[in-house]
Amino acid sequence: MRLPHTVLAFLALATAAYAQSYPPAPAQGEWIVDGANLIAESDRATIRSACASLHASHQTPLMVVTVTSMASCGRAGWTIEQFGAGLFDSWGTARDHWAQGILIVVSRDDRKARIECGRAWGGRLNAETNAVMQRTLVPQFKSNRHGAGLAAAVLELARAVLRVPVTSGAVPGPVGGTTHMPDAVHHSYNRRTSLFGALPVLVIVIIVVAIVKIFFRGLGGGSWHGSRWHRRHHGFSSGPSWGSSRSSSFGGGGGRRGGGFSGGGGASGSW
């Protein structure tokens, strides 16, 4: 029996919505993902030069990301702190020395920005990141000088890294050395991100099962439960309660669960 066109259209929309995600990590050696098209070429050159020098001397990746909105990345209703930490963690296995990295993320239409530091910093850059946010980024953004503000912020953060040594706490590795996740934490993180990556598929399956169940109930009242299909697949029909709890846990976490790369402090601002 064929499902109504309205059901199929709903499923297509649900699939498209869940396909939206964080911006992918750029290739090694690239420091900018300007999804909102806010950075002029001259400011890009300044950012790239400063980030490349910092990484070469201190193995500290400093990345700049702009997005049109958090909703455009499938994260409607999230705080900028959740978004920054989630994006930071999503890039964890794609960037060298990312546990001691620094991410500047700007959501243009939400008018919010976040500086997120990797776990290895342990909050030691909080004063510096707050000063950069409040004295440089927010004033420049209020004047619609996004590219100039980001270039200035990158230069200030690079100078801060030269003054403040990275900690060797939860994620070992001194400034100038290699920072790797411990094996147990690294494997735990990979398992967690694999589960999160599968959640959109799980949610879509749950939606399909729920809609099909409602559709058959509408056709024959109790015939759904007496059907051969239900008897054959009864074990699968318990799926929605499991999937909904997992989805809720993922949506509220913002990427800050144990074993990730973020969580080393930072600062947020709006304009």
> What DSSP string runs through 13-35?
HHHHHHH--PPPPPPTT--EEET
The Cα 246–Cα 15 span in angstroms is: 18
User: Helix, strand, or coil here: 7?
Assistant: helix
pLDDT of 248: 26
What kind and span of H or E run contains 172?
none
Task: Name beta bridge partners: 63.
Answer: 103
Tens of each residue's pLDDT in the chain, 271 residues:
455 555 545 444 444 444 458 999 999 899 999 999 999 999 999 999 999 999 999 999 999 999 999 999 999 999 999 999 999 999 987 677 899 999 999 999 999 999 999 999 999 999 999 999 999 999 999 999 999 999 999 999 999 999 987 764 433 333 333 333 333 333 333 444 444 444 444 555 566 556 656 555 555 544 434 444 344 444 433 333 323 332 222 233 333 444 588 989 999 999 9
Q: What is the pLDDT of residue 260?
A: 82
Domains of the chain, each with CATH number or no CATH: 5-15+187-253 (no CATH), 20-182+255-270 (3.10.310.50)
Q: Which residues of 168-204 are buried (b: 16+ CB within 10 A; e: fewer)?
A: eebbebebeeebebeeebeebbeebbeebeebbebbb
The one-letter code for the residue type at 38 is: L
Task: Spell out the residues 6+ positions from residue 231 whose beta carbon is closer than 8 angstroms to its own.
Answer: none
Q: CA 175 to CA 105: how far, in whole Å? A: 23
Q: Which two tokens stand for residue 259?
A: 């074993």
pTM across the whole model: 0.64
Buried b (16+ CB within 10 A) or exposed e, 33-51: bbbbebbeeebbebbbebb
Nearest Cα residue to 267 out of 160, 142, 148, 145 = 160
Residue recorded with tokens 């400093």: 62
Q: What is the pLDDT of residue 95?
A: 73
Report DSSP letters for 206-263, one per residue.
HHHHHHHHHHHHHHHTTHHHHSHHHHHSGGGGGHHHHHHHHHHHHHHHTT-STT-S--
Q: What is the pLDDT of residue 251?
A: 30
Question: For position 64, what pLDDT does the model report?
Answer: 98
